[in-house]
Chain A
Amino acid sequence: MATATTTQQPAQVVQPQAKPAQYYLDRVIRYALLIGIGLVLLSPFILSFLGTFKTNREILAYPPTIIPTEWHPENWGRVWETSAGPGATFPRWVLNTIILCLVNIATQVLFCSMAAFAFARLNFPGKELVFSGMLATMMIPGAITLVPGYVLIAGRLGWVNNYAAILVPGAVGAFGIFLLTQFFKALPKELEEAAYIDGASRWQIYKDVILPLAKPALLTLVILTFQAQWNNFLGPLLYFQDASMYTMTVGLSFFRQQYQTAWNLVLVGSMLNAIPVLILFFLFNKYYIEGISYAGLK
């Protein structure tokens, strides 16, 4: 694919006349494909965003309109006033989602980095075993732990309608530890050795040397944890039965059943859920991509 620019000279040697025409044809096809795929991938978002400004009659009319005939920006305010019972309002669902995300990020960053420090920098009996055991747990299908998880968390521990049902099992994860371990291993050891000579403890090395150096990897973990928790559906669906405990995702699915005809409001809610993640992705897409690429390295 890089033919056009990187192989200019050899190409001229082999086929002196054929190249320019081929070059321009290649470019046209390539940009047409890029723009075509881009439009297909973005059009559901664009159509939904425009749909949020329509009346409910217009949003379900046939033939559908792309641009609203009348603009109703107040739809964006109406969502915040909808309620599914006492205390179960849309703002409350946003708050629940934010609380889950913040606590989940804090514990993931702390516990994953601690474990990764042990794997990357300390020697201890059973290290290989624990590490490969950790990788093996990543292969267990979620369906297998779903049933006993529900029995334990909802039944034995009684964490129905309790943030703990999501936050305790998800406090630390194998993927985060793996990601940080790979990053920590690649860090130079000189600074730590100097710190050990100065009499620093292992906790101080972890806190004052490794963590500051590992900021890019920690940021990757923060972003991926945020996205996973913000979009989490099955967990809150299983354990949050009271409508005041719903997160945005569960609230939205409830919303759709409850306000079957209010598609404009369902779309506003959907956009309010999608926009923060999309903004974060636009700002930090380098970190997202590193995280996904790491996932491919296991």
Chain B
Amino acid sequence: MAAQATRQRTGFWQNEKARGEALTAYLFLSPYLIITLVFTVGLLIYAVYLSFTRFDLFTPPEWRGINNYIESLGDARFLRSLYNVAWYSLIVTPVQTLLAILMAVLLNAPIAGKRFFRTVFYAPSVTSSVVISMIFIWLYNRNGFINFGLSQLLSRDVTVSWLQEPRGLIEIIAGLFGGTIPADQWWLRGPSVALMAIMAMNIFTTAPTFMIMFLAALQDIPGYVYEAASLDGSYGAHRFVNITLPLLRPVILLVIVLSTIGTFQLFDQALLMTAGGPLDTTLTPTLLIYNEALGKAGPPRMGLASSMAFVLGAIIFVFTFIQRHYIERGTEQI
């Protein structure tokens, strides 16, 4: 039977049939292939080319070799923007991952109103970044609810202009002990109050997205694993640390990688809430690239902007590669 079928398929008929199927498949794929070849692959190649040129949109690109890369790596504002997102990622990624796990574990238990709580928890994640930014600009204003709430909580007047405060975390702590950080050592100052205000807001909107991923993973853990654990006398915190967390490891890796990719590309909120200010302490690489490319600060510098984008891409790649390597090696040891 099988041999007969094979023999039948070796003739001209078979070729024509296979060719017909391949042709149909590529016809079905053609809208995607055309769009992606032009707007993804094409743009990627064009970006590589642009990153080696000087281009202001109006006169033809002029070849510069690797000078854009040298210039971007020496650009004070670009380095400042990388410093900002490095702090941003360092704080936001662990905090939102932990919060997401906590919320997922709470929701995974047999509780009344599970659907209701899940829906409430997830609501900030479906709202647009623009709306969230508008709401928080209002909440963060000097007369806003954040200052009011903190004043009530600490029973003293809090009048911080959250989004206009350039002082850094380390600078503030040093100030408590009478220390100062000179202007030429800005990189010792830590994330500014304005940047931390954006961090808090984004943790609020992104943690629920990752919560859903953890929830899906928790629901995939078979019940007998927990039954066996309880027979061995493993409950509560002990069971969470020794059974649940190791089983969640692949999802934790995924969430950390996705979070790193996302945090390094912060744009909407930084543009809307602070436009990179005060004193460039919320300037992000993507915002700088946008400003350079569109000529928001002088003539458009498309080539330089492209080289900055590739430096950013390389940094994201290296970080996610290290995370992947580190966490996967950890898993093998278990």
Contact = CB atoms under 8 A, between A and B. Distances in A.
A296 B310 CA distance: 26
B127 A278 contact: yes
Given A7-B230, A253-B272, A231 B306 contact: no
Query: Which size bracket describes the interface of B in this complex?
Result: 35 or more
22 contacts: A5-B110, A6-B227, A44-B139, A47-B145, A48-B135, A61-B143, A111-B35, A118-B28, A122-B25, A144-B309, A146-B289, A146-B293, A147-B289, A147-B302, A147-B306, A169-B35, A233-B129, A233-B268, A256-B137, A277-B128, A292-B212, A296-B216
Interface residues of A, number: 96
B53 to A, nearest CB: 11
Interface string A109-128: 01110110110001111010
B44 A146 contact: no
Given A7-B230, A151-B50, A292-B209, 15 more contacts: A6-B223, A38-B117, A63-B148, A64-B143, A122-B21, A134-B32, A140-B44, A141-B309, A145-B40, A147-B50, A147-B306, A172-B31, A233-B128, A273-B130, A293-B212
B322 interface: no
B220 to A, nearest CB: 10
Interface string B287-312: 00110011000000010011011101
A140 B43 CA distance: 11
Interface stretch (A72-80, A185-193, A212-220, A263-271): A263-271
B251 A296 contact: yes
Contacts of A130: 29, 33
Among B26, B126, B261, the most chain A Cβ lie within 10 Å of the Cβ of B126
A107 B310 CA distance: 31
Contacts, number: 282
A214 to B, nearest CB: 14
A249 B286 CA distance: 19
A285 B116 CA distance: 11
A114 B128 contact: no
Contacts of B109: 1-2, 4, 30
Contacts of A253: 130, 134, 272
B167 interface: no
Q: What DSSP secondary structure best describes chain B's contact surface?
A: helix
Interface stretch (B172-180, B231-239, B324-332): B231-239
A4 B212 contact: no
Given A274-B128, A277-B128, A41 B208 contact: yes
Contacts of A123: 18, 21-22, 25
Interface in A268-293: 269-270, 273-274, 277-278, 281-282, 285, 288-289, 292-293
Among A1, A51, A172, the most chain B Cβ lie within 10 Å of the Cβ of A1
A45 B132 CA distance: 9
A117 B289 contact: no
Contacts of A40: 204
B153 to A, nearest CB: 13
Nearest to A227: B126
A293 B216 contact: yes
A141 B265 contact: yes
A150 B293 CA distance: 9
B312 A141 contact: yes
A134 B121 CA distance: 32
Interface in B81-125: 102-103, 105-111, 115, 117-124
A122 B272 CA distance: 46
Given A125-B22, A172-B35, A277-B127, A143 B106 contact: no
Contacts of B235: 3, 7, 11
A110 B29 CA distance: 11
Interface string B9-36: 0000000001001101110110111011
Contacts of B150: none
A114 B28 contact: yes
A285 B122 contact: yes
Nearest to A141: B313
Nearest to B217: A296
Contacts of B130: 231, 233, 249, 252-253, 270, 273
B110 A2 contact: yes
A238 B122 CA distance: 29
Given A278-B126, A296-B254, A10 B227 contact: yes
Contacts of B33: 130
A163 interface: no
Given A141-B312, A147-B305, A114 B44 contact: no
